[in-house]
Amino acid sequence: MVFVLQGATTGDAQTEWDTLLAQAKSAAGQAANLVHLTPDSGIGDRAEWVELDLAQIGVAGRGLAFLKGPVGVYLIDEVHGGSAPSREAMTAQAQTVLGRLP
């Protein structure tokens, strides 16, 4: 899945990012270590990895959220009965997306 959001300004996007990240961290804390968030650099202006460990239902997942100027992108891949794509594969996809953003 891919979600793309655009703020009116870069400042608006940064503010919304901070709000959504705080909500995600709160939800991750409530998910009893099933969701792990890790910041990253080198992907857009800001980036955050999301690791999902839902082994009890046979699902693995990985997500990458990043900002470039006023545009926010969230890529997530959930796999039932297999492994989530590698960070390298998702980073390559993110670089492709970044190259297409204004």
Its pTM stands at 0.84
Per-residue pLDDT at 26: 79
Q: Which two tokens stand for residue 88?
A: 């390298």
What's the CA gap between 86 and 102, in Å, rounded? 27
Answer yes or no: are the C-beta atoms of 64 and 3 closer than 8 Å. no
> Which tens digit of pLDDT belongs to each residue from 15-71?
988 888 888 777 766 666 777 889 999 999 999 998 888 878 888 889 999 999 999
9 φ, ψ (degrees, to nearest 5)? -140, 165
What pLDDT does 101 receive? Answer: 87
Domain positions in the chain are 2-100
What pLDDT, on the 0 to 100 scale, is given for residue 32?
65
List C-alpha distances in Å: 54 to 12, 51, 60.
Answer: 33, 10, 6
